[in-house]
Structure 1
Amino acid sequence: MKIIVFLFISFLRTVLSSSPSPKYDSIFSFGDSLADTGNFLLTGALAFPVIGQLPYGETFFHHATGRCCDGRLVLDFIAEAYGLPYIPPYLALAKGGKFEHGVNFAVAGATALDAKFFYDRKIGQILWTNDSLSVQLGWFNKLKSTLCSSKQDCANYFKRSLFLVGEIGGNDYNYPFFVGGTIKQLKAIVTGVVETIAAATSLLIEEGAVELIVPGNLPIGCNAVYLTLFRTPNKAAYDQNGCLKAYNGFSKYHNSQLKLALEKLRQKYPHAKISYADYYGAAMRFIHAPQHYGFSEGTSMACCGGGGPYNFNNSARCGHTGSKACLDPKSFANWDGVHLTEAAYRHIAMGLINGPFSTPPLTFTPIKLI
């Protein structure tokens, strides 16, 4: 019996030592400021964008990178977990960027719907960028020809790639909300936003993607910008965490519609693995118990801002004159009133990679637990 056990253990050691550890070879990312690692800056969309200056980037990189954060994003933590370098922005290609481990097409301010949708409704002038999801897919198609030459070649290349379709869609609601749109009015466009995200996911699968993560929206009712703009003396408008119930309800509505759309895609493409990333649930975990996750300053107060009850002041936003950053960003979940801190993004990434906020779970075990 001991000999059999010894032989079995020896066999396992031989198999494990001879087989490479399975992992993703590359990551392709689409989305908005929650995922942008520099594309927005490289478009030259603004003469002096504050995200290109400190305090943005101060925590980890110690210089501004074009990320709307003090440090790393969910995408960065996923890359780290699977032993990959940080995924470079697509627009760095012209500057000699290296793309063997994937490309990031996300652009801060991007929408799922094309910019024309917003211009037709007379609010296009407030868009940060016209590089919507369809533009990013166009970039992907342009780059694809340099990665693989045939459908089979692409299938072989992409089968070990992870595709992140978002987060995208949040700005489709932010822009109208910030100029006076109502929840009822915005609910009317949710179907269009979700269909656009689903269509992009479908297109990527047709191009050879087999493993995709599609994130839902964050709980916007807990964000400093919403808490500031839509502040009300009506205590019944807030939940036990101090978040605006109606706006969180809107996020949940978008997410429920997105999950239904992804289920239809799973039926259409049974060979593909389409995971829904529950950003909402992952964030609510630390919003509900901030101290448990190291956020001694709570989760509604922005680290970097120009004052006000939530330290968000639209006339003195983070990086602008009149604002200043907190001394310890890791004790805050909210970075600049709109975006989260590296510490918050890390907890969300952990929830996706280690569970339980990615449904179904990711295929490969991370090389490095984050």
Structure 2
Amino acid sequence: MSATSNMSRIVVVAISFLLCLTPSFAHNVTNNTTTTLTPSTKIYKGCFNKLYAFGDSSTDTGNAQSLGGLTSFSYAYPYGQTFFKETNGRLSDGRLLIDFVAEKFNLPFLPPYTNTTADFSHGANFAVAGSTSLPTEYYVRHRVGRTITWKDLPENFQVQTDWFFKFLHRNICVGKDLGMCEPSFDEALFWVGDMGTADYYRTFGNRVSTDALTKMAVENVCKIVKTLLNSGAKNVMVQGLPPTGCFPLDLSLSPKKDRDELGCARKVNEIIVVHNDLLQLKLKEIEKEYQGVAIMYADYWTAYRTILKEHVKYGFTEPLKACCGEGGRYNFDFHSVCGSGTSVVCPDPSKYVNWDGIHPTEAMFKSLANLFFDGGFCRPAFDQLIRSQKCVSRETRLGNGCDSPNMGNTWEAFTILHFGMVVIRVGNVVGSYFEATMFRDENVVKSHFEAFVMRFGKHFLFFFFLPREIDTPNQS
């Protein structure tokens, strides 16, 4: 066999090896730099230095308790049992969604505004459990209002915005007229939790036009958003309403025949769908009106139902039954709610979606938070906001916080560059080979092949020294 034939075999084998190895290796590098972190381990340190929250019982961390506004679902144990080991102003067994939001940005839990001795250096929580989006006067004027859980006259969104202005005057614009004060909220996130659920609960069964109620409720939520934007807010997240027809309270009130494919109250959920659709439409209009701001919508409805559809996948065994309560198919009784002397707590709240008939468990809030942040259930995607803040996950080996560039994209670019250079070298060898064989010059083939091996070696070694993100254990 001739030397030319031997050399051609060497070249063909070498090229085949490189073409098979290099793309797959580059592909693995890309995967390692983008998907090694699970949702629960991504913490965006330094993206936002302040967090301000508004909403109802799904967001309130103690304001309603201070006001004494609830007539049932009192803050007695076992509320708070899972995480805090004691009652703490939250209507769940542990942390709420807003607590996981704070953890995501490496911020402390938000203190309620009514706690006058709290440290508000990282933000404040203005949400009030049982708060309505409609003004109190509406319920007085129309003489409607179911008082299952709350006092006759509820707090409303106006109270929260009034508190916010007082907070600005007392903590940010000290000694200045609010009209002359221009606070900087470039690194603050404003979280408007679901608001409007209490309005539908209060008017359930009354002769109130749901269409008119929906329009008023959405309009008042948008008033909150505009108030925040007019005050200087740059980043606002607005939650839609959850499918309350899947809550034990609504399931207990609705006819047994009124069920959808998930076993939820169909008519109640149809109202919520209309509410959420209108809210998204109005938010888009607001964003067009206010330039240079980010308004995001957290799709509570779809995220919640996604978990219900595959509840076993998310670690739940009871999608519709309350963990804490007494009696009936859904472990819910108006006369023996969670916290009362006759209520019973399930052995493992983490297996239940619902805590007390109205409020999700900590485990459910955590699953929802993961879907909002990393599951694509925010519109636009939450990653877009993170990129605009120039933040990276703190678990990456390179970069830590907003003052560091996103090195993952940089190294990916280097990988592509070097891979391209390798391909060029392969092309040179192929070209040289055909040139050499055409003129029967074995020395040309040999010299080009040796040069290729030397040059490629440097690029090949580069792939092994690329930085990768570190897998970290799940956090509680």
Instruction: Confirm or deny that 1:181 pairs with 2:206.
Output: yes
Aligned to 2:283: 262
Taking a change above 3 Å as real, the CA distance of residues 226 and 208 of structure 1, as seen in their structure-2 partners, is same
Listed as ranges, the gaps of 5+ residues in structure 2 are 1-43, 387-391, 396-473
Aligned to 1:17: none
Query: In the TM superposition, what is the alpha-carbon distance from 1:199 to its structure 2 partner?
Result: 1.2
Query: In the TM superposition, what is the alpha-carbon distance from 1:153 to its structure 2 partner?
Result: 6.2
Whether the 8 Å CA contact 2:190–2:236 is kept in 1: the answer is: yes
Q: Deviations over 1:93-118 (max 9, x none)?
A: 1xx11100000001110001111111
Query: In the TM superposition, what is the alpha-carbon distance from 1:289 to its structure 2 partner?
Result: 1.1
CA RMSD in angstroms, aligned pairs only: 2.0
Aligned to 1:68: 91
Aligned to 1:39: 63
Instruction: Confirm or deny that 1:98 pairs with 2:122.
Output: no
Measured in 1, the distance between the counterparts of 2:229 and 2:394 equals: 26
Measured in 1, the distance between the counterparts of 2:75 and 2:213 equals: 32
Aligned to 1:108: 129
Query: In the TM superposition, what is the alpha-carbon distance from 1:147 to its structure 2 partner?
Result: 3.3
Aligned to 2:108: 85
Query: In the TM superposition, what is the alpha-carbon distance from 1:242 to its structure 2 partner?
Result: 0.8
Structure 1 length as normaliser, TM-score?
0.87
Whether the 8 Å CA contact 1:211–1:274 is kept in 2: the answer is: yes
Taking a change above 3 Å as real, the CA distance of residues 241 and 320 of structure 1, as seen in their structure-2 partners, is same
Aligned to 2:7: none
Query: In the TM superposition, what is the alpha-carbon distance from 1:333 to its structure 2 partner?
Result: 0.3
Instruction: Confirm or deny that 1:244 pairs with 2:244.
Output: no
Instruction: Confirm or deny that 1:274 pairs with 2:295.
Output: yes
Taking a change above 3 Å as real, the CA distance of residues 221 and 21 of structure 1, as seen in their structure-2 partners, is closer
Measured in 2, the distance between the counterparts of 1:90 and 1:311 equals: 33
Map 1:43-62 → 2, pairs under 5 A? 43-45=67-69, 50-62=73-85
Measured in 1, the distance between the counterparts of 2:191 and 2:394 equals: 19
Measured in 2, the distance between the counterparts of 1:174 and 1:187 equals: 15
Whether the 8 Å CA contact 2:69–2:154 is kept in 1: the answer is: no
Whether the 8 Å CA contact 1:217–1:279 is kept in 2: the answer is: yes
The one-letter code of the counterpart of 1:260 is L
Map 1:301-312 → 2, pairs under 5 A? 301-312=321-332
Taking a change above 3 Å as real, the CA distance of residues 45 and 154 of structure 1, as seen in their structure-2 partners, is same
Q: Deviations over 1:330-363 (max 9, x none)?
A: 0000100111100111111111111311112332
Whether the 8 Å CA contact 1:51–1:66 is kept in 2: the answer is: no
Taking a change above 3 Å as real, the CA distance of residues 200 and 73 of structure 1, as seen in their structure-2 partners, is same
Taking a change above 3 Å as real, the CA distance of residues 98 and 22 of structure 1, as seen in their structure-2 partners, is closer
Structure 2 length as normaliser, TM-score?
0.68
The one-letter code of the counterpart of 1:165 is V
* Identical pairs, percent: 34
The one-letter code of the counterpart of 1:248 is N
The one-letter code of the counterpart of 1:210 is K
Query: In the TM superposition, what is the alpha-carbon distance from 1:367 to its structure 2 partner?
Result: 4.8
Query: In the TM superposition, what is the alpha-carbon distance from 1:245 to its structure 2 partner?
Result: 1.7
Aligned to 2:369: 349
Query: In the TM superposition, what is the alpha-carbon distance from 1:188 to its structure 2 partner?
Result: 2.1
Aligned equivalent of 1:333, options 353, 357, 365: 353
Measured in 1, the distance between the counterparts of 2:166 and 2:129 equals: 20
Q: Deviations over 1:77-129 (max 9, x none)?
A: 00001000000000001xx1110000000111000111111111213573446
Map 1:90-239 → 2, pairs under 5 A? 90-93=113-116, 96-124=117-145, 126=147, 127-128=150-151, 130-149=154-173, 154-156=182-184, 158-177=185-204, 180-181=205-206, 185-232=209-256, 234=257, 237-239=258-260
Query: Aligned to 2:60, what secondary structure does the other structure show?
Result: coil
Structure with greater Cα Rg: 2
Measured in 1, the distance between the counterparts of 2:393 and 2:211 equals: 37
